[in-house]
Amino acid sequence: MNTVLITGSTDGIGRETARQLAGGNWRVILHGRSESRCRNTLEEIRESTGNREVEYLCADLSNQKEIKRMAQEISERFSSLNVLINNAGVFEHERILTTDGVEKTFAVNHLAGFLLTGLLLNRLKENSPARIINVSSMTHSSEMDFSNLQGEKHYSGYEAYALSKLANILFSFRLADRLKNDGITVNCLHPGVINTKLLDAGWGMCGTSVEKGAETSVYLASSPEVEGVSGRYFRDSRPCAPAEITGNRKIQDRLWNLSESLCGYSYDF
């Protein structure tokens, strides 16, 4: 039985991704900030799928200590991890600094996945072939202003979100290259314009169903068609081309080095 960890899986696309994979006889590790929401999601998925191999972990991904604690708990509780889906995301209209002094959108949407992936990398290697999937967006930015990466000069919720989604792709592509000989694939995706709380908070609009939104994540996690496929950006379960900047190695490395500095953590390759 394959094991998957899905961050931000008590609501929206993450919850539906968890439900579909549990229905496919996966062991699913849910994640959320709220104990009650985690417990309710666990019970609903177990009941609707008949799969008892569903567990949960609570952590605030805006807090790096919480991320480290969760990674340690995963290592202690679960002997296997085959797929990591960094799905959690936020949209903030105002500039908010986390307890670590980082702008919240950048912290949750990019740094949390960057840090958690690094902390779980050895466990994934132990269970290779393994897969890492980062949920990005077609709204990713086409340029990266490192002098305003955290809204230091001016803040716009839309710009902050677009930059964080660009960071997801840059991170995915660089990590894929670094893991090309380790039996771990790394891909990212646009889930679609989906009817979620984040879409409503950011754009005040409705989208298509969460069932549709989960399709590409489920495909990248489970399909034999993408076995060995790495360093690609997907939309509607098909590879497509993101912004040109995403292939810039200098930008990838600059973001990587900055991310390690902001997390106080260096990957051990």
Does any domain span residue 269?
no
Task: Examine the residue annotation and report whether 155 is marked as an active-site residue of this protein.
Answer: no
115 domain residue, yes or no: yes
The CATH number for 121's domain is: 3.40.50.720
Catalytic residue among 56, 155, 158, 161: 161
Judged against a pLDDT cut of 50, whether residue 195 lies above it is answered with no
Dist CA 224 CA 109 (whole Å): 28
pLDDT band at 269 (very low <50, low <70, confident <90, very high): confident
Task: Tell me the whole-structure pTM to 2 decimals.
Answer: 0.94
Tell me how many domains the chain contains. 1
> How far, CA to CA in Å, does 166 sit from each of 73, 92, 126, 127, 149?
30, 16, 29, 29, 11
Establish if 268 belongs to a structural domain. Answer: no
Structural domain contains residue 210:
yes
Confidence of residue 200 (pLDDT cuts 50, 70, 90): very low
The per-residue pLDDT of the chain, averaged, comes to 93
Give the other-Cβ count within 10 Å of 250's Cβ: 7
Q: Which range marks the domain in which residue 17 is found?
A: 3-263
- What would you report as the CA-atom Rg of the chain, rounded to the nearest whole angstrom? 17
Q: Is 240 helix (H, G, I), strand (E, B) or coil?
A: strand
**Residue 196, number of CB atoms within 10 A of its CB:** 22
Residue 170 has pLDDT above 50, yes or no: yes
